[in-house]
């Protein structure tokens, strides 16, 4: 049974995930309402991601002295008010500003929430607790985004943001009632937090997080045209495939948390090895709908199996000052989102086909595997050196 405090965090992450991704399904309505092109409306997606990257360190520093429950409630207030501003936006520029302001709460909420979730359970269940919190984010892709898109198409795009406001209010009330107090903020000042960020053991998992996200979004950003032109699915088939992928990433996220509590580094390394193999297979079977769908689901699951282990790896590497590191790792993920979209888009612009994107993503995953392996290899080398010294 999911503990109530973690369930409250999952409800909040569901709302945050919905507002982040649902805009993709509402671009035609937003573009028509504000008389802008769909590519211009698409900047609302990248604007949000930029808000997460820029806002993560700023908000982390602002909330550092607060008790963690108070910080989470303040961030939910920013999130809810930001979505209220989106619903009331009278111009494209206002909507963009509201999206960026809303995004400022994103990185800090997941960063602080991950620390809170792992501290609410015994040590052997910490990564599972983080994955349960992130399950709200994955379920947003399965339920929140399609339902929000359908609501916006039926009653206007503003109705979707009004619905997210209700979710934000419910999540804030759940956090206020379910989360225990007595969790202090940063002790020892922010200087220690910044010193922790300068250590390679902390920077390394952040870079691995970025590479994992780059690999995923190199393909996933263009998954709809990929499935239409390479796999030759119908538009309805693409919708079904994306729903199946959402289920895959939800299961993968939970499985990654369960496995990482048994061996964090083996889970990270094994997930990367699986990703490389599956991406190569994706490139080979993409023209064939049934195997392509199976590989799509497996790929989604392996990609999200990395999310909670990487978050916990960062927190444990910066155990003396985890707040800023945990929050900035969310910025690292979102930076990877933008870089992956850019990498895939650049490859397409230079003449690559959609079918070649999985191979490009596999190369990025290989870089992530190599970087993660350096952390796993160090204890082995230290052990060997110690044995030689004793012999």
Summarised one tens digit per residue, pLDDT across range 142-168 is: 888 888 888 888 899 999 999 999 999
Which CATH number does the domain housing residue 69 bear?
Answer: 1.20.1250.20
Residue 233 phi, psi dihedral angles, 5° rounding: -80, 155
**Rounded (10°) angle between helices 92-119 and 23-34:** 160
Side-chain half-sphere of 108: how many Cα atoms within 13 Å?
31
One domain for residues 257 and 349: yes
Query: Which of these three, 147, 182, 217, is where a domain ends?
Result: 182
Assess if residue 366 is contained within a domain: yes
- 98: containing domain: 1-182
Q: What pLDDT shows up at residue 189? A: 57
129 occurs within a structural domain: yes
Position 391 in a domain: no
pLDDT digits (tens, 9 = 90+) for 198-212: 788 889 999 999 999
Among 13-22, 213-222, 236-245, 346-355, the range scoring the smallest mean pLDDT is 236-245
Give the other-Cβ count within 10 Å of 28's Cβ.
13
Q: Enter the pTM of the model.
A: 0.83
Q: Is the pLDDT of residue 140 over 70?
A: yes
Nearest to 295 by CA among 305, 312, 280, 306: 280
Most confidently modeled of 56-60, 117-121, 173-177, 182-186? 173-177
Q: Give the per-residue pLDDT at 18.
A: 92
Q: How many domains does the chain have?
A: 2
Query: Do 284 and 241 sit in the same domain of this protein?
Result: yes
Mean pLDDT of 359-373: 96
């Amino acid at each position: 049974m999911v503990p109530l405090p973690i369930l409250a965090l999952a409800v909040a992450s569901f709302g945050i995930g919905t507002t982040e991704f649902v805009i993709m399904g509402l671009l035609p309505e937003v573009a028509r309402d504000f008389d802008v092109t769909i590519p211009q409306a698409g900047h609302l997606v990248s604007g949000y991601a930029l808000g997460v990257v820029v806002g993560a360190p700023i908000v982390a520093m602002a909330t550092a002295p607060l008790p963690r429950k108070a910080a989470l409630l303040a961030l939910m207030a920013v999130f809810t008010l930001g979505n209220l501003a989106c619903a009331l936006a009278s111009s494209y520029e206002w909507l963009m500003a509201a999206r960026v302001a809303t995004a400022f709460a994103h990185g800090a909420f997941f960063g602080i929430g991950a620390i809170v979730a792992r501290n609410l359970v015994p040590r052997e269940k910490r990564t599972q607790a983080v994955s349960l919190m992130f399950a709200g984010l994955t379920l947003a892709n399965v339920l929140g985004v399609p339902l929000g898109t359908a609501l916006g198409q039926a009653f206007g795009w503003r109705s979707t943001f009004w619905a997210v406001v209700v979710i934000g209010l419910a999540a804030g009330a759940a956090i206020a009632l379910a989360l225990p107090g007595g969790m202090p903020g940063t002790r020892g000042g922010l200087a220690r937090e910044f010193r922790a960020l300068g250590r390679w053991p902390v920077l390394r998992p952040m870079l691995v997080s970025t590479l994992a996200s780059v690999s995923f979004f190199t393909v996933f950003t263009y998954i709809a045209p990929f499935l239409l032109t390479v796999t030759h699915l119908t538009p309805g088939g693409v919708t079904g495939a994306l729903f199946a992928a959402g289920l895959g990433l939800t299961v993968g996220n939970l499985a990654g948390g369960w496995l990482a509590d048994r061996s964090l580094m083996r889970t990270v390394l094994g997930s990367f090895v699986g990703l490389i193999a599956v991406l190569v297979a994706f490139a080979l079977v993409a023209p064939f709908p049934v195997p392509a769908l199976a590989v799509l689901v497996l790929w989604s699951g392996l990609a999200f199996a990395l999310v909670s282990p990487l978050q916990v790896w960062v927190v444990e590497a910066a155990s003396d000052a985890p707040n800023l590191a945990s929050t900035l790792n969310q910025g690292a993920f979102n930076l990877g989102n933008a870089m992956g979209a850019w990498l895939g888009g650049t490859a397409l612009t230079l003449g690559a086909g959609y079918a070649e994107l999985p191979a490009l993503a596999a190369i990025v995953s290989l870089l992530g595997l190599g970087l993660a392996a350096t952390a796993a290899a160090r204890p082995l080398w230290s052990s060997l050196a110690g044995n030689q010294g004793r012999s």
